[in-house]
């Protein structure tokens, strides 16, 4: 039996964040010269005429590892991409409390510690925290956001991880940085239109007919052509599986506006509930990226536009007269298979789930890592393709279920949209079973068989943040099987309050920290770190790509604004 030959090349079709991040990770981890084999040749073909959607202005903590793996300096990243820090997502007005008042909470990048082997959430649910919310019962995040602090002290080293964080970034500038980085390391960049896609007698993609260069032969082709799926859908005919029965939002509008006060930048993404969806707000160094994700069944584009602009004026004040939102139709769902024949779809061409939890770049990252783990030879063995597709399927289901959770456990009744989101949309079977279980018990890692991103602690942060157990969701005595010591809880709360107060004091002002990282302020010496506490500080909730969930034991001044780039209004 003959074995397949090692592949010599990979061709990526499509640029933007998806294409260039794929190239960067393939270049970083792909085959170098070894055992007589030449390095893997990477070619990226990008149309000069087709604009990118620009996904991913907000990220998750795995982005830190992504940049490090790609060999990109954090300081260069902040300077080139107008990046800022993100300590979590603030959900504003998605639920109401017992008095009918809107609730706000932060879904954080910190994991609650256990208390003698028991999830802290059980203690909070039983005893409360003296008027503080769930997150504030163990982490400094809420106070850090209010004080507009960054996640580290002044003078800290690049990629300091003393506190869980992610980034906000300018998607267009990030793609440009990746382009420069990749081409300098040998990635071949072709700026031409693909006119035709040629298949061989096995149905594999054999070549691409380029407008000027002619026939470009391919071995493995990665489709990063966005929603149109030029190769995976159009050439190979792979069906698209819509998620419209689970998620109502199918359109978005995006715009960029200046900061009301450039010296005050929040280190948090905001998701503000509106009448037929939600509005994101991503504060970059030089501007705010914002938009409205909504359901066309509940708002026309014009109605959504008027509602969105009114909301903007109410929250940030006067907006520029030329701030005209760009409407983006969303293809919500995923391909039946991400890998078909010799083509792998990554990014929007593979699928898209509304950007509520900033998962777009993370899913690109994981798609590339898994491809490298199950990299084929010239035979393209079925077992490799099947396992890859199973992993991608699991990831989409994981993200879909977590997004659906936010809507199903909403309790607003002021518009038909929110009523329909709770009562008319289907619930995936995997989530539906758990929603019944969680009426009697908090979320356990045993309930979630596949977790690369949203673990039990993240689910509990949402349940507690929405205050579902205070508003009638429970059907049993939550945590009745545990011995919960109220005196011990009080001692731990006092200790964590002291610990977190010190953490806020040590952290640098967000804007000052950004100026330092950009090289626009003199670097400072980091303040001495306190001795390790008896209780470990909260760690990142979202695991790094390729790693399982983390386990946590317990025992200023004015500056010139860059011009707003109206051609790169990005989805969150």
In tens, the pLDDT along 230-241 reads 999 999 999 999
Instruction: State the DSSP string of 275-338.
Output: TTEEEEEEE-SS-EEEEEEE-TTT--HHHHHHHHHHHHHHHH----TT--PEEEE---EEES-S
Helical pair 171-184 and 74-81, crossing angle rounded to 10 deg: 130
| Cβ-contact 267, 510 below 8 angstroms | yes
| Residue located via tokens 């991503």 | 282
Numbers of helices and strands, H then E, in the chain: 14, 23
What pLDDT sits at residue 551?
36
35 φ/ψ angles, rounded to the nearest 5 degrees: 45, 45
pLDDT in tens, 58-103: 999 999 999 999 999 999 999 999 999 999 999 999 999 999 999 9
CA dist 463 and 443 (Å) reads: 9
pTM of this prediction?
A: 0.90
DSSP category for residue 230: I
pLDDT band at 53 (very low <50, low <70, confident <90, very high): low
Helical pair 382-408 and 416-423, crossing angle rounded to 10 deg: 130
Q: Which of 32, 38, 86, 264 is catalytic?
A: 86
Task: State how beta strands 269-274 and 88-96 pair.
Answer: parallel
What pLDDT sits at residue 525?
52
pLDDT band at 441 (very low <50, low <70, confident <90, very high): very high
CA dist 34 and 537 (Å) reads: 43
pLDDT in tens, 346-386: 999 999 999 999 999 999 999 999 999 999 999 999 999 99
The whole-number average pLDDT for the span 266-291 is 97
Q: Is 197 helix (H, G, I), strand (E, B) or coil?
A: strand
| Residue located via tokens 């956001």 | 145
DSSP category for residue 6: B
CA dist 569 and 305 (Å) reads: 15
Q: Assess whether pLDDT exceeds 50 at residue 554.
A: no
With the C-alpha atoms ordered 325, 326, 331, 337, is the resulting torsion angle positive or negative? negative
192 φ/ψ angles, rounded to the nearest 5 degrees: -150, 160
Structure tokens at 17: 């964040």
CA dist 66 and 346 (Å) reads: 16
- In degrees, rounded to 5, the angle at the alpha carbon of residue 441 between the alpha carbons of residues 438 and 443 is 65
CA dist 339 and 336 (Å) reads: 9
pLDDT band at 50 (very low <50, low <70, confident <90, very high): confident
| Residue located via tokens 């981890």 | 29
Please confirm, yes or no, whether 86 is among the known catalytic residues.
yes
Element (H, E) at 41: strand 41-46
| Cβ-contact 355, 571 below 8 angstroms | yes
Structure tokens at 520: 């626009």
The whole-number average pLDDT for the span 14-40 is 92
Strand partners, 106: 90
């Amino acid at each position: 039996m003959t074995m397949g030959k090692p592949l010599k090349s990979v061709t990526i079709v499509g640029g933007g964040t998806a294409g260039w991040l794929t190239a960067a990770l393939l270049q970083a981890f792909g085959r170098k010269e070894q055992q007589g084999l030449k390095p893997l040749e990477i070619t990226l073909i990008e149309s000069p005429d087709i604009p990118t959607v620009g996904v991913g202005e907000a990220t998750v903590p795995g982005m830190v590892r992504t940049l490090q793996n790609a060999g990109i300096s954090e300081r260069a990243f902040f300077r080139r991409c107008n990046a800022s820090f993100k300590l979590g997502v603030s959900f504003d007005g998605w639920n109401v409390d017992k008095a009918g008042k809107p609730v706000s909470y932060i879904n954080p990048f910190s994991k609650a510690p256990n208390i003698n082997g028991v999830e802290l959430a059980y203690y909070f649910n039983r005893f409360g925290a003296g008027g503080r919310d769930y997150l504030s019962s163990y982490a400094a995040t809420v106070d850090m956001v209010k004080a507009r602090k960054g996640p580290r002290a002044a003078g800290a080293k690049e990629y300091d991880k003393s506190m869980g964080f992610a980034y906000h970034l300018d998607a267009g500038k990030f793609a440009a940085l990746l382009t420069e980085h990749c081409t300098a390391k040998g990635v071949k960049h072709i700026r031409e239109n693909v006119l035709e896609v040629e298949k061989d007698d096995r149905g594999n993609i054999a070549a691409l007919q380029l407008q000027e260069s002619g026939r470009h032969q391919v071995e493995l082709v990665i489709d990063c052509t966005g929603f149109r799926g030029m190769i995976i859908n159009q050439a190979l005919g792979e069906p698209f599986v819509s998620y419209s029965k689970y998620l109502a939002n199918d359109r978005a509008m995006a715009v960029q506006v200046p900061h009301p006060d450039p010296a005050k930048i929040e280190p948090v993404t905001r998701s503000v509930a509106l009448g037929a969806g939600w509005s994101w707000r991503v504060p970059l160094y030089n501007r705010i990226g914002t938009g409205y994700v909504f359901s066309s069944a509940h708002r026309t584009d014009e109605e959504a536009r008027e509602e969105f602009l009114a909301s903007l004026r109410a929250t940030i004040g006067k907006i520029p007269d030329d701030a005209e939102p760009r409407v983006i139709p969303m293809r919500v769902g995923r391909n039946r298979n991400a890998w078909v024949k010799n083509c792998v779809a990554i990014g929007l061409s593979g699928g898209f789930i509304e950007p509520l939890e900033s998962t777009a770049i993370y899913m690109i990252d994981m798609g590339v890592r898994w491809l490298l783990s199950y990299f084929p030879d010239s035979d393209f063995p079925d077992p490799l393709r099947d396992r890859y597709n199973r992993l991608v399927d699991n990831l989409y289901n994981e993200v879909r279920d977590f997004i659906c959770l936010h809507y199903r456990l909403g309790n607003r009744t002021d518009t038909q949209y929110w009523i329909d989101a709770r009562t008319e949309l289907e619930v995936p079977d995997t989530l539906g079973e758990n929603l019944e279980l969680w009426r009697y018990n908090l979320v356990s890692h045993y309930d979630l068989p596949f977790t690369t991103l949203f673990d039990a602690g993240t689910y509990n942060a949402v349940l507690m943040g929405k205050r579902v157990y205070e508003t009638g969701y429970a059907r049993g005595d939550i945590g009745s099987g545990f011995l919960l010591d109220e005196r011990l809880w009080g001692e731990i709360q006092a200790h964590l309050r002291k610990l977190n107060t010190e953490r806020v004091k040590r952290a640098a002002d967000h804007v000052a920290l950004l100026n330092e990282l950009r090289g626009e302020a003199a670097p400072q010496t980091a303040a001495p770190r306190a001795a390790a506490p008896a209780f470990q500080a909260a760690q990142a909730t979202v695991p790094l790509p390729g790693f399982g969930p983390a386990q946590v034991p317990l025992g200023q001044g004015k500056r010139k604004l860059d011009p707003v780039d109206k051609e790169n209004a990005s989805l969150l």
